[in-house]
């Protein structure tokens, strides 16, 4: 997660742009809101970003706290919470080493945020730290994309069109292009992301570049991480309906219980 | 290499390990790992145990080189053939039928090996951990486990899944006639299991083709970091992985993984 100086900036340094692309994503929000409502205790969102999920939890009346490594992201979350008159208890913290005073019935780590843990050591430190913040009977829920054959065999080193969304402030469009560099043995993907702003006529009027790294996890590897971090039991689902994980093009929803 | 799971999962066909003569024919062409394991054993500071020693493809040349090496294998027929080959070569061997997940030997070893991807017969994390712990308990202080295995690369899976291909062609060790191994592999990518339906076809001197055998076997693969976590969970403290028997670094997903692990 630590960034070397001189590299392209992290997308998390520009939360307004991040939100232009990602804020409208809803695919996972109803799941977390539903799980938060039946959590029977407070909820912690690990790596809550600008609050895409956390603000929805708060709006639904869930007692939810959150933290993120990026100060700019947390600042933007606070602004959005204030605009919506939602009480946001959030802080800047590192999932590998954080201390909060409360204990939680559920901890959520959404949208591949756990892929920012780059090594086994970082993964285990984060899992142990999260486990220490769970109440007895509490559970951690992590959503990660499965590292599929098609991910690994996808184009390397050339910009690939990822998504397009209307610009919320004018008649322009925003496009996200992703140039990936993958290492299958290291289970690592480095992405050079370019955001393009296009006029209605298709002229590119602005380009912003970011860089991110993701460290993917396979199923049995995930189970061993939970075991080594001290979780008592775990279950790996194949999606938000808790369907069985059977194919590598499914999403991976990992539940791990403290006790 | 012999099955770790006692229950046959061969879909009605019997696996290769109940017919050790056929087994020796099917792998008669393979020796890429032999020098590595023999040299490793010769350099060992103390006794050596080969886990899943089969009919002695590696164990017998190692013993012939003067190494104090014992062996275990799950399949009685394989051990029986090993003993017959040892007797024919006038070699004394201490080998036993035993399960790598749960075995007890009277002595401790400076080196324990699991060659030829035999660890991939262990189908669950629990079985893998039991085997690694049992092996750890049989190591002398300062001793090490050495094993090799692989995982199918994404490209290989994409190109081979469900396709029947001739994986290997070689000469029959008895008479030089052509033998082909035709494999149909299926990959369960989230459960990390390859199921191989294999047909062994021999072409006789007159050019007629005969199916010698059909069998199905499964291999459970593990990825690199998964293996590191398994070693840690089983109580090993140091390990190293190489990308080939020549000791090169592990860099490509098509590399064989050669693991050395020690509890101390």
Mean pLDDT for each consecutive 10-residue tract of chain B (264 residues)? 39 68 93 98 98 98 98 97 98 98 98 98 98 98 98 96 96 94 97 96 94 93 98 98 98 98 96
Measured CA to CA, the distance from residue A48 to residue A51 in angstroms comes to 6
Task: Using CB atoms, pick whichever of A120, A185, A225 lies closest to residue B253.
Answer: A185
Asked if B154 lies within 8 A of A223 by C-beta distance, the reply is no
Instruction: Return phi, psi of residue A252, to 5°.
Output: -115, 120
Which of B189, B222, B229 is opposite residue A149, by nearest beta carbon? B189
Distance of CA B146 to the CA centre of its chain: 12
| Least-confidence region, from A5-19, A54-68, A116-130, B4-18 | B4-18
pLDDT tens, residue by residue, A142-189: 999 999 999 999 999 999 999 898 888 889 999 999 999 999 999 999
Is residue A3's pLDDT more than 70? Answer: no
Give the pLDDT confidence score for residue B10 in this predicted structure: 38
In Å, what is the CA distance from B64 to each residue of A2, B41, B82, B85, B173? Answer: 54, 12, 13, 12, 21
CB A138: neighbour CB atoms within 10 A? 24
Sheet of strand B164-171, all strands in order from the earlier edge strand to the far edge: B164-171, B178-188, B193-203, B209-220
- The predicted pLDDT at position A7 comes to 53
Chain B 99-128, residues with CB within 8 Å of chain A CB atoms: 125
- Partner-chain contact A224 B229, CB within 8 Å: yes
Contacts of A221 in chain B (CB under 8 A): 223, 225-226, 229
Which residues from A are below 8 Å from B233, CB to CB?
224, 227-228
Which pLDDT belongs to residue A13?
Answer: 87
Q: What is the pLDDT of residue B4?
A: 39
- For residue B12, what pLDDT is reported? 39
Task: Please give the Cα distance from B113 to A174 (Å, whole number).
Answer: 57
pLDDT at A20: 84
Name the minimum distance, in Å, from the CA of A224 to any CA of chain B: 6
Query: For A203, what's the count of Cα atoms within 13 Å in the CB-facing half-sphere?
Result: 2
What ipTM was reported for this prediction? 0.94
Q: What is the pLDDT at residue A9? A: 77
pTM surpassing 0.90? yes
Question: Does any CB of chain A come closer than 8 Å to the CB of residue B237?
Answer: no
The three-class DSSP label of residue B160 is: helix
| E-only strand ranges, B85-177 | 94-97, 109-114, 139-149, 164-171
8 Å CB contact of B222 and A220: yes
Residue B101's SS3 state is: coil
User: Would you call A225 an interface residue with chain B, using a CB distance cutoff of 8 Å?
Assistant: yes
Q: pLDDT tens-digit profile of B141-173?
A: 999 999 999 999 999 999 999 999 999 999 999
Contact between chains at B251 and A246 (C-beta distance less than 8 A)? no
CA B140 to chain centroid:
23
- For CA atoms A13, A180, A97, A256, the dihedral sign is positive
Mind listing the pLDDT tens digit for each residue in A59-113? 999 999 999 999 999 999 999 999 999 999 999 999 999 999 999 999 999 999 9
């Amino acid at each position: 997660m630590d960034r070397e100086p001189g590299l392209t900036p992290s997308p998390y340094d520009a939360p307004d742009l991040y939100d232009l692309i990602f804020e409208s994503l809803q695919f996972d929000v109803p799941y977390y809101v539903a799980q938060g409502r039946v959590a029977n205790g407070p909820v912690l969102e690990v790596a809550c970003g600008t609050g895409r999920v956390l603000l929805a939890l708060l709006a639904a009346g869930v007692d939810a706290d959150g933290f993120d490594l990026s100060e700019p992201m947390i600042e933007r979350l606070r602004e959005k919470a204030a605009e919506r008159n939602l009480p946001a208890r959030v802080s800047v913290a590192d999932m590998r080493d954080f201390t909060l005073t409360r204990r939680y019935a559920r901890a959520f780590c959404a949208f591949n945020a756990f892929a920012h843990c780059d090594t086994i050591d970082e993964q285990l430190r984060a899992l142990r730290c999260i486990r220490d913040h769970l109440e007895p009977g509490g559970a951690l829920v992590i959503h990660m994309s499965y590292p599929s054959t098609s991910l690994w065999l996808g184009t390397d080193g050339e910009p690939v069109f990822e998504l397009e969304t209307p610009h919320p402030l004018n008649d322009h469009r925003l496009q996200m292009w992703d140039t990936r560099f993958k290492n299958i043995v290291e289970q690592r993907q480095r992405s050079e992301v370019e955001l393009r702003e296009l006029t209605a006529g298709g002229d590119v009027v602005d380009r912003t570049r970011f860089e991110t790294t993701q460290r993917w996890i396979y199923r049995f590897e995930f189970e061993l991480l939970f075991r080594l971090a001290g979780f008592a039991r775990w279950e790996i689902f194949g999606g938000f309906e808790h369907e069985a994980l059977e194919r590598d093009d499914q999403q991976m929803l990992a539940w791990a219980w403290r006790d | 290499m012999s099955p770790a799971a006692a229950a046959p999962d061969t879909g009605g066909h019997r696996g290769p390990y109940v017919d050790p003569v056929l087994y020796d024919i099917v792998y008669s062409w393979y020796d890429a790992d032999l020098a590595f394991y023999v040299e490793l054993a010769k350099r060992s500071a103390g006794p050596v145990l080969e886990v899943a020693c089969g009919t002695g493809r590696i164990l017998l040349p190692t013993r012939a080189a003067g190494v104090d090496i014992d062996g275990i294998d799950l399949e009685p027929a394989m051990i029986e053939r090993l003993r017959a080959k040892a007797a024919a070569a006038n070699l004394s061997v201490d080998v036993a039928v035993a399960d790598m997940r749960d075995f007890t030997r009277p002595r401790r070893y400076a080196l324990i090996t699991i060659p030829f991807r035999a660890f991939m017969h262990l189908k669950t994390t629990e079985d893998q951990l039991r085997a690694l712990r049992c092996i750890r308990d049989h190591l002398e202080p300062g001793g090490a486990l050495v094993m090799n295995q692989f995982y199918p690369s994404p490209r290989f899976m994409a190109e081979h899944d469900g396709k029947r291909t001739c994986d290997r062609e070689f000469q029959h060790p008895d008479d030089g006639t052509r033998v082909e191994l035709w494999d149909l592999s299926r990959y369960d990518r989230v459960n990390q299991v390859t199921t191989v339906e294999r047909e062994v076809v021999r072409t006789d001197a007159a050019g007629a083709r005969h199916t010698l055998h059909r069998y199905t076997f499964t291999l459970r693969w593990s990825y690199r970091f998964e293996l590191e976590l398994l070693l840690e969970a089983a109580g090993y403290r140091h390990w190293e992985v190489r990308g080939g028997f020549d000791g090169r670094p592990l860099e490509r997903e098509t590399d064989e993984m050669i693991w050395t692990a020690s509890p101390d």
